[in-house]
Amino acid sequence: MINADAPLPEDLFAALPGEDAVMSHAIAVNCDRWQDALRTRGLPLLQGALAGQGVTRVSRADVFGFGSREITPSNAFQLLYYSLAWGLGSSAPRLHQRLNALAAHQDRAGELLVEAWQAVRNGESAQNVYGVLTTNRGAGRIPWFGPAFSTKFLYFAQGQETPPRYLILDQVVAHNLSDVWPDPPKTAWFPDTYARYCAVAGSWAEQAMERLDGARKVRPDEIEFVLFKRR
């Protein structure tokens, strides 16, 4: 269980990068590979930068732009593609298995993605929005899209306008929380665990602002960013 009362660790405070560094965090993506994989499976095709050729870079700010769009099934697939492409990077491990599963459950996946996005837009609790895409036992409701990618979709679904409340949780972040979360599960997290993680990150962002005497705002995803890079 995550210790919700743990103070902000000194090394995380010292490493806080600022909003610009988080938003410009970019990953190389092979556009041609993605386009071929989607076309072969009859899935909706890419829009935006990934509809081009060769290798391009996709930043967090780019993906947040899709999260600010109107909530429709078509836009939900674009948001999923971009959050997945950003998360997988140029090597895109197990991309074919993931897209096979998406194609096999396309209608249901579209419904779940729209429902989750709407829950995010409505400002529902972290536990509730997580529960749309993830079961009470921490399994993804869309096959091959477990918590690590569900939370990326939820994170980017918040769009560009407000500081994020729902944060990315993956194996690396969970491992690097070991000082306040002993022996965390490696691949699946219950909805209440995700909510506790988001609350702790939000609390640490507030503690950081207090220690900075209000010199600047600290976004909760700065905490996630430094947790992912923590050594």
pLDDT of residue 135: 96
How far apart CA 34 and CA 84 sit, in angstroms, is: 11
pLDDT of residue 223: 98
CB atoms within 10 A of CB 23: 16
CA-only gyration radius of the chain, Å:
17
pLDDT of residue 230: 94
How far apart CA 63 and CA 46 sit, in angstroms, is: 13
Task: Report the DSSP pairing between strands 55-59 and 26-30.
Answer: antiparallel
The model's pTM is 0.97
Separation in Å, CA 70 to CA 107, 114, 183, 193: 19, 10, 40, 30
Residue 5 identity (one-letter amino acid): D
DSSP E strands: which ranges in 40-141?
A: 55-59
Separation in Å, CA 121 to CA 34, 52, 115: 28, 29, 10
Residue 133 identity (one-letter amino acid): L
Low-confidence ranges of the chain (pLDDT < 50): none
How far apart CA 220 and CA 86 sit, in angstroms, is: 19
* Cα diameter, the chain: 54
pLDDT of residue 84: 97
SS3 157: coil
For 158-208, the pLDDT digits (tens) are 999 988 999 999 999 999 998 899 888 877 899 999 999 999 999 999 999
DSSP string over 28-43: EEEHHHHHHHHHHHTP
